[in-house]
Structure 1
Amino acid sequence: MKKSNSTYSILVLAFAFMLLGTFGIQAQVLYKPEPAVNPNLGGNVAWDAICASSEFNQYFVGFNWDPPLVASNNKFILELSDANGYFSNPTELASVSDKNQVFDFVFQFALPSDIRGDKYKMRVRSTSPAKTSPASDAFTMYYIDYKAPLLISENGSGNIPSGGKIQICGGGSVTLKPHNIPNAGTYIYNWYRSGTPLAEKTESITVSDPGMYYVELDYGDCSGSANTMSNYIEISTGNSAGLAINGASSISLCPGETHLLQANISGEGLTYKWYKDGAVVSGPTVDGSSFTVDAGTSGFEGSYKVEISGSGVCTELSAPVTVSNSSSFEITLVNEENIVLLPAQTKTLSVTTSASNATYQWYKNGVAITDATSNTLNVDTIGEYYVTVTDSGGSCAPAPIASATTKVVSPQSFEFVVDYIGTYGSCESVDATLSLTTINAVGSNGSKTDVTTDLQNSFGYQWKLNGSNIAAETAKTITVSNQEENGAYTLIGTLDAFQATSNSLQVKLASKETLQITANGTVFCEGGEPIVLESTTDLTNESFEWKKDGTVVNTSSQNLTVSGPGVYQLVITSNDCPLVSNQVTITAFDESLLVLDKSKDLIIIEGETETLTASGADSYEWYDAGNNLISSNSYYDFSEEGEYLLIATFGTCTVSKVITITYRDMFAIPNVITANGDGINDLWVLPNTYSRDPNVLVTIFNERGEQVFSQAGYENNWPQSTTSFNKQNMIFYYKVTRGGKSLKQGTITVIK
């Protein structure tokens, strides 16, 4: 009869376990993973390289392992190495927890988007027991996240030259770089010159040799499917004509002066382009070999260059000529920010300058102030002030230069800004520090001027909590460290007739207390003793919530009787902040939590002892057939036949298992002998379990119940040669005992 596949699998598994038990092999064997066929594509060939993308990213790996079985909570995890084939920081590709009795299965995975390389390996790891398979062979794996042609230009500027041509003069070089790919620095590149691969793999290359240059992304064996080949840049070379700008390399001009910059190569229909600080200021112009710098124009100072191009010449850029302002000097108004002037106050303005021979004139609201000709000025009225500085010691004709303007204002009011100092989290921190950060003077038009530096030491301060003064808190900073002081804090400041009020800051400190809950068990079972959660804190006058899995289940009971598996927690509202307890996790009861290291139907050899060990429970009780407690250990040594009861306790739950112990018969006790002297079956021979044991007594009775033989440590020597039998067939009765307890009994038929 042909066996079904399931029957065949069971037989194979049973045979495997038999071999494992015979030879003492206890460890699982994990084999290296292998590429597998994608069942969704209809083919029958496994992949040999991975070229994944957003359009397709579904791959399969086959894996097999040998018993013994793994634990029921085991996971098999498929891991990927780094690009060099090392597993120091592996990437998890997939995991399964439902294959713990399946010895040959496949993982499905998607390739992560940052994987690019030719040396990736895979392996499989089990969690219970913790074992790792050998690594797979190395494979090409690329996630192709960019699949468009690259565009290259000089320095990645995005300006592709006309005709794709760049000319290099006088042994120079040019840097080529793609400009249309995001995160360009994360890729590997293949650069080519006139069809020949170059050694460079970087984002950019600097070249000086002529040729046709182009690039593609290096996706290894997957490069062809990405279609990233770039445009071509043709590099040509030529000889330098020695272009330069005539005259000195550094020129200084006075205000109103002009200077003509002249290229040393002119005429011949060449095209000129003039640059200032890298930006084009003139051209391209045919025969425009000169450029005029006008010092009367603001911002004329800078670095100037000229570029020539044209038929028969190499495009070339000159060295720079620096043009500066001869009469320039620095002016710094010390009080550039607006100044707040209180009644009866005087403020001093001052200026610094780099002029070698400076003279000064101060102005108020655009009008010169009489006799205000020094580098400082005392002011006692509001207005806009600035100073002009003239340097009569330079090479140019003196010209006054004005400083920045300072506005002196009289405030209509003041505004305080307070903020938290350091790290503060509402209902998280156990203390908080608040401080004055800004004092603003507020003008009549609502404008604000920061006067913190000038006035922070002039104000008197008072902190308030919920509108009431806090005793002795009269500094700019306050520290709150008591949860009972939670509330709204403001700072009041007084200066002469002014009073400033700050913004309000809410302080909600977490309790410094620890809230602890306990349970009389953590395993929930229907019909078992109730699991009760208790708190170490008296909840009588508290506002509280018992929560299960984050959902409120009770708000009134001091203790909570658990309704089912879940994560339980107690939250007390203390001074507007939650005080959160520890978590207690209640798990569902499962009889499989009780594990026996051997079968509950145990066969032992009579006269020997076999130990059965239980695990997983909190406590154990072993009972014999008379319901007598015989052990409270996790194990028991069995030596007698019979039925036993094991009760294992898991918190408030129990599991009962009946243990059946039977003797293994080495061979049957014979019930017929032929005492005819032929040397065959003449003696009644007992198994070794009962013979030659001084503690075992063998007794034989005739059919009338009379004892005819009795021997301790039976020597397999009955009937003896002197024994006579008066009938052809006689029946005897035997009894085998140990310590007065019957082990075996039956009949013996003697045939003459």
Structure 2
Amino acid sequence: MKKRSSTYGIPFLALALMLLFASGASAQVLNKPTAADNPNLAGNSAWTAACASASFNEYFVNFTWSPPLVASNNEFILELSDANGYFSNPVELDRVSDKNTVFDFEFQFALPTDIRGENFKFRVRSTNPAKTSPASDAFSMYFIDYNSPLLISQNGSGTIPSGGIIQICGGGSVTLKPHNIPNANTYLYNWYRSGTLLAEKSESITVSEPGMYYVELDYGSVCSGSANTLSNTIEISTGTSAGIAITGDSAIAVCPGSSQILEANITGMGYSYTWYKDGSKISGPTVEGSTYTVNATTAGFEGSYTVEISGSGVCVEQSAPVTITSASDFEVALQSAENIVLLPSQTKTLSVTTTASSPTYQWFKDGVAVTNATNSSLVINGIGEYYAEVTENGGPCASAPKTSAVTTVVAPDSFEFVVDFVGTYSSCENTDATLSLTTINAVSDNGAKTDVTSDLQSSFAYQWKLNGANITGETAKTITVSDQAKNGTYKLTGTIDAFNAGSNNLEVKLASSQTLQITANGTVYCEGGDTIVLESSMDLSNETFEWKKDGALVNSSTASLTVGQPGVYQLVVSTNDCPIVSNQVTIVPFDASLLVLDKPSDLIIIEGETGTITASGADSYEWYDAGNNLISTQNSYGFQEEGEYLLVASFGTCTVSKVITVTFRDMFAIPNVITANGDGINDLWILPNTYSRDPNVLVTIFNERGEQVFSQAGYENNWPQSTTTFNKQSMIFYYKITRGGKSLKQGTITVIK
């Protein structure tokens, strides 16, 4: 198993943090995450694209950050952008809470199954303090949920032509489509013609040019080939039209019980024929099957018929359609309503129409013929079920009588109204609402309801009520409410003859038309920066209100709100029936990555020469030495001495601090291992002349508990002075070399006994 992270020893970490705090560091730096190698796979290379599937879905991302330490309850969260690299709605991939003292570690994640795109990015967030790293580079990432070869056929019919060849007539076209993939319309496709990638990305492609056509699923620039979805090949060739047609008239009427033979105009040449009705195949392909019999005894025989010809030396071609209808077919249509309420002393007229050429009529009431009712209309004055029977007395075919739809005539016991909102209405969101009558039901004595809206809506007298009281002047079927003061319960009543009707209740709660605006004196939050305060345009002294951050209550007592964290803020004032909701103000965290250095913060120079670091991105700069002395306010500084320096960059009221460590390039390295076994070889810790025997250079050594065990100015290469002080086989010590209080070198010494 490969090593996944590096953790410094606690004493050395404590010493490193002590030095960082002494030099003025004040904020963590979260670096952009990078792809890492998979420890469970051979090799040692980071992944460059994610091609996940059900059989493999394990990836690693490396992340580094810089002290000071985060809070003990902090969590680091790995997030994934959308396919365009935006983090408006990021997906959480991993979350860790045990890496708060580890500055270099790796996240492990599985790719979500709905991921498909070329420009996904990562970022890392910490929760305490709340910081966000820069976004990673863009990656091609796809979850391959289908990885079998596609099969394509004409119109996705599932029938692959013999030899994989389809011949079309000049000017014709063929639609190719896969037929063996579920949810085919949810994918993008790569279509090819004779090896050339085409522009089409859809599930099907309509082609007219000759060539070799095949397709694969589009899993991006990297993953498409590894998905193994490349289809079979269909060869499209072109030929000359044979002029296929169905002989005879283009419209044929057939009597019920008889049949009609359809015949192609090209016969006797060994071709195959396929017959279609209303676009669906009904016969073939059949060699020499140039005829088809339409059986008029079969229900639904009416329709549009075509024939398709194919075979050697002829291109695939379909004829113009021939329409088959029933010669005796005629229609009967009821012209009056199917449900009629008959009030006392009323009469109603029922009528039918027909397409019969020579019709006769007979009306029926409750299944019994009405005497002398032999016209196309009938005047009624009683309740019951009415219908008309129509007989065709002309035309080429004999036919049975046809009956119209039934009209049910009832006498009401009572009426009821149904009212509803017109258009979209949401309580406490609309600033106006329109209510209207939608249905009038006649209710019989047994509770049965008949919709009589079209018949009686113009006959009722109407009155709208609010909270049980009549609304003056509102006597139409519709009412519009646009005043919040008129919120309440609405009901419609009405009268006709001796009947009274009432509707259901509708509760109207309109939103206030008053505008609530909140403002902020700043929208970028940073620790130590100016205080951000939110204020309201409304006087809140006599109001009940709530300040909310990210939808959660944060304050309900003060008229202004001091922002303590980034987030989306809003004010809600409770008044009347509906709250007044303000605009949203988004407070964003300051982005420390705006500060850019042209060289690494660990600068190595040759003693006696100058190394310059130039900063950019900030409004102003201050450079400090290890003694906290201001040494420059320019955007660059030339370093000549070893030590630790501090750069403070200002962005308005926000600042970013960065520690610069300057060291001389060693001509002779400082040893980090000695063998204090008394054999005279490598028993002493020997420093190069740059640091030894110089009275201005102080050498201090600490044990692994941070206790000082040796300190000497003008070091004489004489430590350790005795080998008996080492009680373990291997011990670690820490050293620090300074000149005039400025740090020159620091590191570890391993003593092997």
Q: Into which bin does the TM-score normalised by the smaller protein fall?
A: 0.5 to 0.7
C-alpha deviation, 1:584, in angstroms: 11
Superposition pairs of residues 328-407 of structure 1, within 5 angstroms: 328-355=329-356, 359-389=360-390, 394=395, 396=397, 400-407=401-408
CA distance in 1, matches of 2:241, 2:570: 83
C-alpha deviation, 1:416, in angstroms: 0.6
CA distance in 2, matches of 1:91, 1:560: 32
CA distance in 2, matches of 1:387, 1:292: 36
Tell me which residue corresponds to 2:230.
229
What SS class does the counterpart of residue 305 from structure 2 fall into? strand
CA distance in 1, matches of 2:33, 2:585: 40
1:334 alignment partner AA: Q
C-alpha deviation, 1:52, in angstroms: 4.5
What SS class does the counterpart of residue 322 from structure 1 fall into? strand
Q: Which has the larger displacement, 442-451 or 275-284?
A: 275-284
CA distance in 2, matches of 1:297, 1:349: 34
CA distance in 2, matches of 1:91, 1:578: 28
User: Given that residues 152 and 158 in structure 1 are in contact (C-alpha distance below 8 angstroms), is that contact kept between their aligned partners in structure 2?
Assistant: no
Instruction: From the superposition, tell whether residues 287 and 614 of structure 1 become closer, same or farther in structure 2 (CA, over 3 Å).
Output: closer
User: Given that residues 271 and 287 in structure 1 are in contact (C-alpha distance below 8 angstroms), is that contact kept between their aligned partners in structure 2?
Assistant: yes
Q: Are 1:45 and 2:45 matched, yes or no? A: yes
Tell me which residue corresponds to 1:146.
145
User: Given that residues 271 and 286 in structure 1 are in contact (C-alpha distance below 8 angstroms), is that contact kept between their aligned partners in structure 2?
Assistant: yes
Instruction: From the superposition, tell whether residues 328 and 435 of structure 1 become closer, same or farther in structure 2 (CA, over 3 Å).
Output: same
Tell me which residue corresponds to 2:603.
none
Deviations 1:413-433 (A, max 9, x none): 212101123443323445544
Instruction: From the superposition, tell whether residues 466 and 63 of structure 1 become closer, same or farther in structure 2 (CA, over 3 Å).
Output: same
Bigger radius of gyration: 1
1:178 alignment partner AA: P
2:382 alignment partner AA: T
C-alpha deviation, 1:53, in angstroms: 5.0
CA distance in 2, matches of 1:164, 1:415: 71
Deviations 1:147-201 (A, max 9, x none): 32143243453524598866647777643211314354641325476xx566565
CA distance in 1, matches of 2:176, 2:563: 68
C-alpha deviation, 1:204, in angstroms: 3.2
Instruction: From the superposition, tell whether residues 437 and 45 of structure 1 become closer, same or farther in structure 2 (CA, over 3 Å).
Output: same
User: Given that residues 572 and 579 in structure 2 are in contact (C-alpha distance below 8 angstroms), is that contact kept between their aligned partners in structure 1?
Assistant: no
User: Given that residues 62 and 105 in structure 1 are in contact (C-alpha distance below 8 angstroms), is that contact kept between their aligned partners in structure 2?
Assistant: yes
Unaligned runs of 5+ in 1: 18-29, 66-74, 127-131, 524-530, 588-594, 606-612, 618-752
CA distance in 1, matches of 2:561, 2:208: 80
Deviations 1:258-291 (A, max 9, x none): 3333456789999876543344556788987654
What SS class does the counterpart of residue 56 from structure 1 fall into? coil
Tell me which residue corresponds to 2:278.
277
1:159 alignment partner AA: G
What SS class does the counterpart of residue 148 from structure 2 fall into? coil
2:459 alignment partner AA: S
CA distance in 1, matches of 2:388, 2:263: 40
Tell me which residue corresponds to 1:300.
301
Tell me which residue corresponds to 2:489.
488
Indicate the RMSD between aligned Cα atoms, in angstroms.
6.6
CA distance in 1, matches of 2:311, 2:107: 66
CA distance in 2, matches of 1:45, 1:603: 45
C-alpha deviation, 1:409, in angstroms: 2.2
Deviations 1:665-707 (A, max 9, x none): xxxxxxxxxxxxxxxxxxxxxxxxxxxxxxxxxxxxxxxxxxx
Tell me which residue corresponds to 1:159.
158
Instruction: From the superposition, tell whether residues 428 and 218 of structure 1 become closer, same or farther in structure 2 (CA, over 3 Å).
Output: closer
User: Given that residues 266 and 287 in structure 1 are in contact (C-alpha distance below 8 angstroms), is that contact kept between their aligned partners in structure 2?
Assistant: yes
CA distance in 2, matches of 1:142, 1:547: 41
CA distance in 2, matches of 1:197, 1:518: 58
Tell me which residue corresponds to 1:670.
none
C-alpha deviation, 1:436, in angstroms: 1.8
CA distance in 2, matches of 1:57, 1:418: 58
Tell me which residue corresponds to 2:438.
437
User: Given that residues 391 and 398 in structure 1 are in contact (C-alpha distance below 8 angstroms), is that contact kept between their aligned partners in structure 2?
Assistant: yes
User: Given that residues 36 and 47 in structure 2 are in contact (C-alpha distance below 8 angstroms), is that contact kept between their aligned partners in structure 1?
Assistant: yes
C-alpha deviation, 1:510, in angstroms: 4.5
Instruction: From the superposition, tell whether residues 251 and 360 of structure 1 become closer, same or farther in structure 2 (CA, over 3 Å).
Output: same
2:190 alignment partner AA: Y
Q: Which has the larger displacement, 273-282 or 107-116?
A: 107-116
Tell me which residue corresponds to 1:658.
none
C-alpha deviation, 1:348, in angstroms: 1.9
C-alpha deviation, 1:305, in angstroms: 4.2
User: Given that residues 167 and 315 in structure 2 are in contact (C-alpha distance below 8 angstroms), is that contact kept between their aligned partners in structure 1?
Assistant: yes
C-alpha deviation, 1:88, in angstroms: 11
User: Given that residues 363 and 387 in structure 2 are in contact (C-alpha distance below 8 angstroms), is that contact kept between their aligned partners in structure 1?
Assistant: yes
Tell me which residue corresponds to 2:409.
408
Tell me which residue corresponds to 1:705.
none
In the superposition, the TM-score normalised over structure 2's length comes to 0.54
C-alpha deviation, 1:384, in angstroms: 2.5
C-alpha deviation, 1:344, in angstroms: 0.9
What SS class does the counterpart of residue 457 from structure 1 fall into? coil
C-alpha deviation, 1:240, in angstroms: 8.9
CA distance in 2, matches of 1:206, 1:585: 49
CA distance in 1, matches of 2:323, 2:453: 44
1:151 alignment partner AA: L
Tell me which residue corresponds to 1:325.
326
Tell me which residue corresponds to 1:216.
216
C-alpha deviation, 1:345, in angstroms: 0.9
Q: Give identity over the alignment, percent.
A: 52
CA distance in 2, matches of 1:561, 1:142: 46
CA distance in 2, matches of 1:546, 1:121: 38
User: Given that residues 262 and 291 in structure 1 are in contact (C-alpha distance below 8 angstroms), is that contact kept between their aligned partners in structure 2?
Assistant: yes
CA distance in 1, matches of 2:465, 2:363: 46
Superposition pairs of residues 443-592 of structure 1, within 5 angstroms: 443-470=444-471, 473-480=474-481, 485-510=486-511, 536=539, 572=574, 574=576, 577-578=578-579
User: Given that residues 33 and 122 in structure 1 are in contact (C-alpha distance below 8 angstroms), is that contact kept between their aligned partners in structure 2?
Assistant: no
What SS class does the counterpart of residue 503 from structure 1 fall into? coil
CA distance in 1, matches of 2:21, 2:147: 53
What SS class does the counterpart of residue 223 from structure 1 fall into? helix
Superposition pairs of residues 6-155 of structure 1, within 5 angstroms: 44-53=44-53, 55-56=56-57, 58=59, 60=61, 141-155=140-154
What SS class does the counterpart of residue 449 from structure 1 fall into? strand
Q: Which has the larger displacement, 473-482 or 488-497?
A: 473-482
Deviations 1:379-404 (A, max 9, x none): 21222333344566655568654333
Superposition pairs of residues 418-433 of structure 1, within 5 angstroms: 418-433=419-434
What SS class does the counterpart of residue 343 from structure 1 fall into? coil
Instruction: From the superposition, tell whether residues 518 and 156 of structure 1 become closer, same or farther in structure 2 (CA, over 3 Å).
Output: closer
User: Given that residues 274 and 291 in structure 1 are in contact (C-alpha distance below 8 angstroms), is that contact kept between their aligned partners in structure 2?
Assistant: yes
What SS class does the counterpart of residue 427 from structure 2 fall into? coil
User: Given that residues 494 and 500 in structure 2 are in contact (C-alpha distance below 8 angstroms), is that contact kept between their aligned partners in structure 1?
Assistant: yes
CA distance in 2, matches of 1:357, 1:447: 40
C-alpha deviation, 1:229, in angstroms: 3.1
User: Given that residues 517 and 570 in structure 1 are in contact (C-alpha distance below 8 angstroms), is that contact kept between their aligned partners in structure 2?
Assistant: no
What SS class does the counterpart of residue 294 from structure 2 fall into? strand
Unaligned runs of 5+ in 2: 1-11, 67-75, 126-132, 526-532, 589-619, 633-648, 654-753
CA distance in 1, matches of 2:560, 2:286: 93
User: Given that residues 359 and 392 in structure 2 are in contact (C-alpha distance below 8 angstroms), is that contact kept between their aligned partners in structure 1?
Assistant: yes
User: Given that residues 152 and 231 in structure 2 are in contact (C-alpha distance below 8 angstroms), is that contact kept between their aligned partners in structure 1?
Assistant: no
What SS class does the counterpart of residue 344 from structure 2 fall into? coil
1:154 alignment partner AA: S
2:251 alignment partner AA: S
Instruction: From the superposition, tell whether residues 167 and 477 of structure 1 become closer, same or farther in structure 2 (CA, over 3 Å).
Output: closer
Tell me which residue corresponds to 1:177.
177
What SS class does the counterpart of residue 351 from structure 1 fall into? strand
Tell me which residue corresponds to 1:743.
none
CA distance in 2, matches of 1:241, 1:616: 81
Instruction: From the superposition, tell whether residues 160 and 297 of structure 1 become closer, same or farther in structure 2 (CA, over 3 Å).
Output: closer
CA distance in 2, matches of 1:88, 1:515: 31
Deviations 1:20-49 (A, max 9, x none): xxxxxxxxxx99998665678785433444
Larger RCO (CA within 8 A; separation ≥ 6): 2
Q: How many residues align?
A: 554
